[in-house]
Structure 1
Amino acid sequence: MNAASPYRVSPRAALRQSWQDVVFLHWRVPEDEVAPLFPAGTLPDVIDGSAWVGVIGLRMRNIWFGPVPYPAFFELNVRLYSRDSDGHEGVVFRAMEATDPLFAAGSRAAVRLPYTWAGFRYARTRTHVAYATRRLAPAADGAGVRMAVRPGTPLIEPTESEQRLTARWSLHEHWYGTTLRVPIDHPPWPLHRAELEAWHDDGLLAACGLPPLPEPPESVLYASGTTVRFGIPAPVR
């Protein structure tokens, strides 16, 4: 099973979400090629000897801002893996594509997260899960990705790398002249190995400032879902 979160975020946290039908694609990338993309006070988290890029597709459901529910939507994010000066492991998002334009605009304005309103196609059958995206605004460049996987057997004991690429307990973000760390808490991921059926980058990775990536990804995983709580942001020293 995945490792447990070092944080104990309150069940009444200001923001709670369920992430469902989660597809994880991961590539190794040279550390020096992505290091300039990290906010001040953070560095690439080296996992199994490498920095990594992740592309993650999911259904965002059961969203609560305190006691107020929010409608479900689809999201696909492109992320890097960070470690801050206090040793906290986290993620740095390079893109967050969402079908909800209000959520995307509000998150960009309030938290500086790189959300973009995007069109989505989603398919879920008994044997496969697929996502396809295309940007609409504010970066109406048409960039997107297409991916499909066939979930396989459950991972009873994920490797250390598989755990560290999926169970991330902080979000690092540059916010109005400082870097914030947002604690994240969730139950262990019910991970499955998965077979890649399709992958195509329609310019999204280049739009994120990332180098060309080899095909196929080195790691392909799937999880049915988990519930995530976000804690109080704190500045990175």
Structure 2
Amino acid sequence: MDQRSNAESLWPDPPELPPPAIMDQRWTDAIFLHWRIPENAAARFMPPGVQPDLFDSSSWVGLIGFRIQNAGIGRGPGIPYLGSFSEVNVRLYSRGPDGTRGVVFLSLDRNRLPVVLAARAAEIPYVWSRIRYSQPRPDSPDVEAAGYSVRRLRQGARSTVVPQSDATVDDPLSVFLTATFGMHGTFRGRSIYIPNTHKPWPLCTAKLHHLKDELFASAGISASGPPESVL
């Protein structure tokens, strides 16, 4: 990515996916927190042949919360109940030997057990958790900002993320951290790449109102201090 380009031209063209599509879904109310970490801290989590993707000579670890709506098989309609849920994931940024950029998930917390079990069968590190999304409402003056809280139902780790949104943004780092079109992983001992496509995010900068996290430690990674990027 050319860090000297104008911000308006930074967002890459979303790729066209080769058929067949595995699933279709809508993401809403996304919150992105990111910390800078050493490259060697991320390298040990990469699948065989995959290396950390760098920005500003650093690797990055993200704590991401969002709501999925109307997830369905292929291009079909959303599945009732199971197709709408919240997720909070911990992820790193990766680059395959062919230059393909993606993410490596260290954990993905979801509040739908059948979805978690199906994904774990594919060796994707899903965790069954109770996730609550809160947003300010006139009848709830105690809720000052939108955010997510996670409580794992078996492992006990928790996380609470509450940022406050600010101005719109489209800078090189923000695009690098959110324009992700695939995941690198491991299945039966071999590296795999699963592509996706999505439209540009309407990003806003944010200030962190509250954070208490145990998901990083549970995943075996550490990041000190406040996040460098809050979107």
Q: TM-score range with shorter-chain normalisation? A: 0.7 to 0.9
Q: Answer 1 or 2: higher relative contact order, Cα 8 Å, separation at least 6.
A: 1
Q: Are 2:14 and 2:198, in contact at CA under 8 Å, matched by a contact in 1?
A: no
Give the 3-state SS of the residue equivalent to 1:103 in structure 2.
Answer: helix
Provide the residue aligned with 1:83 in structure 2: 95
| 1:10 CA displacement | 6.3
- Say if 2:176 is the partner of 1:168: no
- Which structure's residues are more often strand, by fraction? 1
Secondary structure in 2 aligned to 1:120? strand
Tell me, in whole angstroms, the C-alpha distance in 2 between the residues paired with 1:170 and 1:122: 25
- SS of 2:31's partner is strand
* 1:1-237 correspondence runs (5 A): 3-9=11-17, 13-66=21-74, 67-70=76-79, 71-109=83-121, 111-125=122-136, 128-136=145-153, 140-155=154-169, 158-201=170-213, 203-211=214-222, 213-221=223-231
Give the 3-state SS of the residue equivalent to 1:187 in structure 2: coil
Is the contact between residue 5 and residue 185 of structure 1 (CA under 8 Å) also seen in structure 2?
no
Q: Is the 8 A contact 2:87 2:108 kept in 1?
A: yes
Identity of aligned residues (%): 38
The Cα of 1:183 is off from its aligned counterpart by 1.2
In structure 2, what is the Cα distance between the partners aligned to 1:105 and 1:95? 14
SS of aligned partner of 1:125: coil
Residue of structure 1 in register with 2:140 after alignment = none
Distance in structure 1 (CA, Å) of the matches to 2:39 and 2:110: 28
- The CA RMSD over aligned residues, in Å, is 1.7
Cα deviation for residue 144 of structure 1 reads 1.9
Give the C-alpha shift of residue 34 in structure 1. Answer: 2.0
CA distance in 1, matches of 2:189, 2:45: 15
Distance apart, 1:120 and its partner CA: 1.4
Query: TM-score normalized by structure 2?
Result: 0.87
Give the secondary-structure state (helix, strand or coil) at the position aligned to 1:148: strand
Encode CA deviations 1:73-127: one digit per residue, 9 max, x unaligned: 0100000000010001100000100000110110110x21100000112101267
Counterpart amino acid of residue 120 in structure 1: I
Give the direction of change, closer, same or farther, for the CA distance of 1:152–1:12 in structure 2 (3 Å limit). farther
For 1:33 and 1:153, locate their aligned partners in 2 and report how far apart those are by CA, in whole Å. 32
Structure 2: distance between partners of 1:204 and 1:77: 9
Mean Cα deviation higher: 111-120 or 76-85? 111-120
SS at match of 2:173: helix
Q: CA deviation at 1:182?
A: 1.0
Structure 2 unmatched ranges of 5 or more: 1-7, 138-143
2:149 counterpart letter in structure 1 = A
The 1-side partners of 2:20 and 2:136 are apart by 34
TM-score (norm 1): 0.85
Aligned 8 A contact 1:5 1:186 in 2? no
TM superposition shift of 1:154: 1.5
Contact map agreement 1:4 1:187 (CA 8 A) in 2: no
